[in-house]
Structure 1
Amino acid sequence: MYVGFTIIWAILNTFALQVIAFIDMISIWWQVVGGLVIVIMLPFVALSTQPASYVFGHFETAPASTRIRSAPYAVILSFLVSQYSLYGYDAAAHLTEETKGADKNGPIAILSSIGIISIFGWAYILALTFSIQNFDYLFDTNNETAGAFVPGQILYDAFHGRYHNSTGAIILLFVIWGSFFFGGLSITTSAARVVYALSRDQGVPFSSVWRRIHPKHKVPANAVWLCAAICILLGLPILKVNVVFTAITSVCTIGWVGGYAIPIFARMIMAEERFNPGPFYLGRARRPICLVAFLWICYTCSVFLLPTSYPIKFDTFNYAPIALGVCLTLIMLWWILDARKWFKGPVRNIIEKCSMNA
């Protein structure tokens, strides 16, 4: 299924951008309407709901499944959920080059995605938490989801408890699975644009291949299939070792947010007279916001390297530090041995075209 969905996402991303835009519109309505259905229906279906004191004041570490008994350590790890969830704005940022009026519409898309994700994500988590029937049963390996899929178990408990069948839970799971599908499609689009942008600047090996644009559909088809191939290769080890998934998501998130830390830090320390503000400008709030953003990135990147379960063994160790170290080592070696001799930074092709036209 993993390989099949990856191939489907790659095929869809080789069509014209209008196709992706149409699918993205379906995705928005699917997730907004489907999210509202889950948020509104689930607490009403559940035979009983947890009190607000439990939802907002109770604390669980689930030591039986994670072996983590330190409440402060669990709190530190819990903040990472938002880092996964807020990935949507990144796709909006990567597609700004293909957006009309990108200087205005790009920031609007980024802020809109953050606002929508924050509201619906919080409502979704509250609906699930209020609808918990028996917390101890959620992580029981003998339950209907083998203790491995808590949201699915909450849905099952709610519908099976009231109607004595799981049809409603399966329907709501289809809503969630559809969101996963649309999310994977969007991430494939975003990843291909990153590869294309780096290839255009000759920042990756064999750049001439990955920066080619499909003559008919005008999309970086080679970059799309490169991302799909890497995605499949990275995912195959998950079949044998579950912690590989944790390592992959950790390294990808560190690379993603870490890439934003560099321009944020540069903006924070650069002289104001060297900066030309655009239509969206933070004004006097720029430095405090940049400082908070930079510190948050440093925090999340550090926490993603920590163990997520104990005791630390081969099948529970967080391999993200090793994977990150290997990636950084290979990149630094490539820079020292080859790339520093010819890489001059981003290619300013818009200025070059304007000069040619003049």
Structure 2
Amino acid sequence: MSFLVSQYSLYGYDAAAHLTEETKGADKNGPIAILYSIGIITVFGWAYILALTFSIQDFSYLYDPTNETAGTFVPAQILYDAFHGRYNNSTGAIVLLFIIWASFFFGGLFITTSAARVVYALSHDHDVPFSSVWRKIHPIRKVPGNAVWLCAAVCALLGLPILWINVVFTAITSIATIGWVGGYAVPIFARMVMREKDFRPGPFYLGGASRPVCLVAFLWICYTCSVFLLPTVYPIKMDTFNYAPIALGVVLGLIMLWWVVDARKWFKGPVRNIDEQVDHNGDGNGNVKV
């Protein structure tokens, strides 16, 4: 279970994957950036968790409804107990909490930016309704402004229920993690079943370890995605039920319905930005049309 908690943070490597399109030598620097991202997150995240864990003064008091945070915000209570017990003052705890909340804020900005890039890319391929609106580029700022506002609005609407129902947060994070890593499971599985003679390795290649690493990664993704669909609190009640399976089923059902009813009639795959005319004569007069 402790491994599962880290999944929300370790999957930050997706930021490096998103930036590979604007990276020089992306076929090599992209994977290296992903490895660096995972390494940095692991070191600093482990240090933060250790520091927070060793700062616990009284474990039973953390969930006590009569404590300073009403038993609902364990990290804040840990910091409060640590500083108040050592210095008889809670100022340091407040300062650290502001740093943590600032990290949440910038993390939210990253997620919104990443989502806007995905919406813009899907709109470019006509994969989402009203694609012509979301793929518009702001004439001055040169960013897909409509896609950014769409993602910000969706994030706000999804976040509002969390103020009243705690299980909504569990459902949202579970679905986000499943959707995130599920996308990576597809090419990993394709690499596992692809014939070796059909595979063209790039400059960053694991060689003989490629298939075993893919197998471990694929099994781990299947395991984590399955666990994220399970209840987190027992006994299961309406206010403790994990709604991730229902939400995921509704989303996948709507997508499949859209595909059967409409999308399969016109979607032909990703839209190419560059059409190449092959130089069959070998005279160097092949043209490239943008």
TM-score normalized by the length of structure 2? 0.92
Q: Any conservation in 2 of the 1:251–1:324 contact (CA below 8 Å)?
A: yes
- Are residues 1:89 and 2:7 paired? no
Task: Summarize the alignment of residues 236-251 of structure 1 with structure 2, pairs less than 5 Å apart.
Answer: 236-251=160-175
Selected match of 1:185 from 93, 109, 115: 109
Question: What does the per-residue CA deviation read over 1:43-67, in whole Å, with 9 as the maximum and x for residues that have no partner?
Answer: xxxxxxxxxxxxxxxxxxxxxxxxx
Question: What does the per-residue CA deviation read over 1:57-86, in whole Å, with 9 as the maximum and x for residues that have no partner?
Answer: xxxxxxxxxxxxxxxxxxxx4332111111
- Are residues 1:215 and 2:139 paired? yes
- Are residues 1:166 and 2:87 paired? no
Selected match of 1:316 from 233, 237, 240: 240
CA–CA distance in structure 2, aligned partners of residues 207 and 246 of structure 1: 30
For the aligned residue pairs, the C-alpha RMSD in angstroms reads 1.6
Residue ranges of structure 2 left out of the alignment (5+ in a row): 278-286
1:306 aligned residue: 230
Q: Any conservation in 2 of the 1:88–1:113 contact (CA below 8 Å)?
A: yes
Residue ranges of structure 1 left out of the alignment (5+ in a row): 1-76
Q: Which runs of 4+ in 1 moved over 4 A?
A: 351-354
2:50 aligned residue: 126
Shift of 1:351: 4.3
The residue type equivalent to 1:331 in the other structure is: I
CA–CA distance in structure 2, aligned partners of residues 251 and 341 of structure 1: 29
TM-score normalized by the length of structure 1? 0.75
2:270 aligned residue: 346
Q: Any conservation in 2 of the 1:91–1:189 contact (CA below 8 Å)?
A: no
2:79 aligned residue: 155
Shift of 1:320: 0.6
Change (3 A) 1:239 1:130: closer
Shift of 1:222: 1.4
- Are residues 1:355 and 2:288 paired? yes
Q: Any conservation in 2 of the 1:95–1:190 contact (CA below 8 Å)?
A: no
Task: Summarize the alignment of residues 10-21 of structure 1 with structure 2, pairs less than 5 Å apart.
Answer: none
The 3-state SS of whatever aligns with 2:14 is helix
Q: Any conservation in 1 of the 2:274–2:289 contact (CA below 8 Å)?
A: no
CA–CA distance in structure 1, aligned partners of residues 101 and 169 of structure 2: 18
Aligned length: 281
CA–CA distance in structure 2, aligned partners of residues 186 and 350 of structure 1: 29
Q: Any conservation in 2 of the 1:95–1:193 contact (CA below 8 Å)?
A: no
Change (3 A) 1:273 1:217: farther
More RCO (CA 8 Å, sep 6+): 1
2:35 aligned residue: 111
CA–CA distance in structure 2, aligned partners of residues 233 and 119 of structure 1: 34
The residue type equivalent to 1:244 in the other structure is: V
87-96 or 166-175, which deviates more: 87-96
Question: What does the per-residue CA deviation read over 1:188-213, in whole Å, with 9 as the maximum and x for residues that have no partner?
Answer: 11111111111111111111221222
CA–CA distance in structure 2, aligned partners of residues 95 and 274 of structure 1: 27
Shift of 1:352: 5.3
Name the structure with the higher helix share.
1
- Are residues 1:296 and 2:229 paired? no
CA–CA distance in structure 2, aligned partners of residues 268 and 210 of structure 1: 35
